[in-house]
Amino acid sequence: MQADIERALTNQEFELYLQFYVDCGSHRIVGAEALSRWQHPEKGLLTPGRFIPMMEREGKISKLDYYSLEKVCSFLEELVGLGIDTFFISCNFSRDTFAAAAFVDNCKRIIGQYQFPRELLVFEITESVSSKNISQLQQNTVALKEYGVKLALDDFGEGFTSFYDLQQYPIDIIKLDKSLIDNMGTERGDAILKAMIRVGHELGVTILAEGVETDDQVETITRLQCDLLQGFRFCYPLPRWEAQKKISQLFLTARTDDKSFSPSAP
């Protein structure tokens, strides 16, 4: 599989999938997270757990990061061409990619090839790799904010991400880690989650809960005044073509119908 990576990038075997974000109050679809799937010619469809750790070890994760960014920009341009100009997409980057000296220039070069409002693109800083170049990472986040894109802190409350990151980077969105959602329903778990949401709101940050799978979780998170939800309760990751079809149906319907719409549970 290591030998297959370069071929896969050249032949565009990595496919764009999207998992929707919904508004906590209305359950309207408002955006999505971009995910990668590898359509391997011999092994079939591979999920990230099969290839992301390997690509990080082999030092090839940046190639996939930039490849995925281009796919996302192309998708956003297509949506805007259909008249859908409020749907946003978050794109994952490892911290080492994010902290590279050429990161901002590389991103501007890719983004500049496509036409869409820059605020519809959200860059996620993941916790999977602990970068040593904190100074460059900080410079890059500031430069990207000035360019117009938004920033999200992924897996908040797990691994390397912490309140320290909120002090260092101009974050727009906090994505609460699934472990926090799984621990809801206990006095301590609810207190921790409530405190995180309150701090985020006081800082003017949007709070997004990952891994929402049950109606009870939806009810609790809504009561705690979270902003956005993501999880199997609302939608599984969809391939690009299927996601575009659903987005088009929902947004075009909303223009002719003032009633709220929501995605069907899987």
115-166 pLDDT per residue, tens? 999 999 999 987 544 556 778 888 999 999 999 999 998 888 765 556 777 7
What are the beta bridge partners of residue 175? 208
Given a cut of 70, whether residue 260 has pLDDT beyond it is no
Under 8 Å between Cβ of 74 and 114: yes
d(CA 231, CA 213): 6
Residue found by looking up tokens 């991400």 in the block: 161
Calculate mean pLDDT across residues 107-113. 98
How deeply is 181 buried, as exposed, middle or buried, from its count of CB atoms within 10 A (0-12, 13-18, 19+)?
buried
* Residue 76: CB atoms within 10 Å: 25
| Torsional class of 15: left (φ above 0), alpha (ψ -120 to 50), beta (otherwise) | beta
Under 8 Å between Cβ of 175 and 152: yes
Under 8 Å between Cβ of 32 and 89: yes
d(CA 108, CA 47): 28
Residue found by looking up tokens 């309140």 in the block: 163
d(CA 266, CA 263): 9
Given a cut of 50, whether residue 266 has pLDDT beyond it is no
Residue with more model confidence, 110 or 262 = 110
Under 8 Å between Cβ of 12 and 252: no
Return the pLDDT at 134: 79
d(CA 108, CA 65): 14
Residue with more model confidence, 71 or 256 = 71
pLDDT digits (tens, 9 = 90+) for 58-102: 889 999 999 999 999 999 999 999 999 999 999 999 878 998 999
What are the beta bridge partners of residue 229? 22, 209
* Residue 50: CB atoms within 10 Å: 14
Return the pLDDT at 184: 83
Given a cut of 80, whether residue 174 has pLDDT beyond it is yes
Coil vs helix vs strand at 129: coil
Under 8 Å between Cβ of 221 and 24: yes
Return the pLDDT at 158: 66
What's at 123, amino acid-wise? F
195 membership: H or E segment, kind and range: helix 187-202
Given a cut of 50, whether residue 10 has pLDDT beyond it is yes
